[in-house]
Structure 1
Amino acid sequence: MEDIIENKTIQKEDWSERKLSLLEISNCEFNRCNFTETDFVGTKFIDCVFNECNFSNSKILNCSFCNVTFKECKISGVAFSEINKFLLSWQFDNCVIKLCNFSKLDIGKSKFIQCVVHDTDFVDSNLSESDFSNSDLRGSKFQNSNLSKVNFVGAINY
């Protein structure tokens, strides 16, 4: 793998259980890729889109996400609380997010649109001005979080 991956469209690749650490990935689109248990430690994602990808139990310690969109992805067992918070900006559209940890993050203005977000931890997070519209938040925890100006229109189970 190269240290820098840019301006690529990647289709239906299985990168499960691989180590893809310390990469810079920019202006890329990933379609129907499998990242189950992939180790992305220290990787930077800039201006990327993930369509119908599987991120079950992916490791993202010190990963950066700048202008990243996840569309129709399965994301399960991921500790987002361990990411690099600098210049963090992301959006989740129609994703299934289960058993993830977003605790103690400053993720204001994040978008979780029409997502299934079950049993996920947002404790002690800043979610101000975020959008959870039309999402199912069953079993997710928001204790001690800043929920000012959060859009829950059409959301259920919160």
Structure 2
Amino acid sequence: MNQRARIAMSDDDVTAFLEGARKLQLATINPDGTPHLVTMFYGLDEGRIAFWTYGKAQKTRNLERDPRVSCLVEAGEEYAELRGVLLYGKAERVDDPEHVLAIGMEVARRTTPGVADELLRPYVEHTGRKRVAYVVERTKVVSWDHRRLT
């Protein structure tokens, strides 16, 4: 078995890794073709990466023009600890207001663990008026876990 195959995560490991993390690097495509890379807090919607952002943000404008994305979630400081998942896919816009708020609540729960929903909801409802949400339909997954090399 080659080293690439040895460090790849199983589907269950990818799922667990994505469930345990809170932020990702999101790459969209600018009008001139250059990458637009930002750190985003995210949630999961039926196992899919889900995030929300302001409707006038650059990433939103980019996604309306070209929905292709790359999402990188990583962990570890030393080489032997490095783990990560790189998802390629298409970001599908969520238009249903209740679904947008549900994604907002999921993101808020993950960024403020232990805070009760009744405390989060007013903020999510207020800021949600200017936000749009997306779910990422995966087209390819690449993963690595260098801890498997020891």
- Indicate the TM-score class for this superposition, using the shorter chain for normalisation: under 0.3
TM-score (structure 2 length as normaliser): 0.24
Q: Which has the higher contact order (CA 8 A, sep 6+)?
A: 2
**Rg: which structure is higher?**
2
More helix by share: 2
